[in-house]
Amino acid sequence: MIYVTYIAIVLSWVFIIFGMIAIFRLKNLYARILAATTIDTIAILFVIIGLLFVAGSFGFVIRLLILLLFLLITNPISSHVNIRSAYLMGIPVNTKEKKK
């Protein structure tokens, strides 16, 4: 069971690293917010799955599942709020690269 935890934690770090690379490579603010939220959601999913396998009691498993449900509901909502506020402030959706 501990090996499943190790694999889940390593997978979460892989997703976090790829997400950080995507945030710096994407030019559009909206795509950056979407990438950050998606990677955050997937990474925390793998961390909690890893913790489920090493949880000592049934009470901790229930708490982790409730936490997972809460995060799966609130992360997309927070992303939507951030993107909507950027749109309402007038940040353009299509940004062009600066010419050198």
**What pLDDT digit, counting tens, does each position of 24-79 carry?**
898 888 888 888 888 889 999 999 999 999 988 899 999 999 999 999 999 989 88
Domain boundaries, the chain: 2-88
Query: What is the distance between the alpha carbons of residues 32 and 37, in angstroms, rounded to a whole number?
Result: 9
The pTM of this model reads 0.79
CB of 69 closer than 8 Å to CB of 44:
no
Nearest to 64 by CA among 79, 49, 81: 49
Per-residue pLDDT reduced to its tens digit, 75-93? 989 889 988 998 899 888 7
CB-hemisphere CA count at 13 Å for 87? Answer: 10
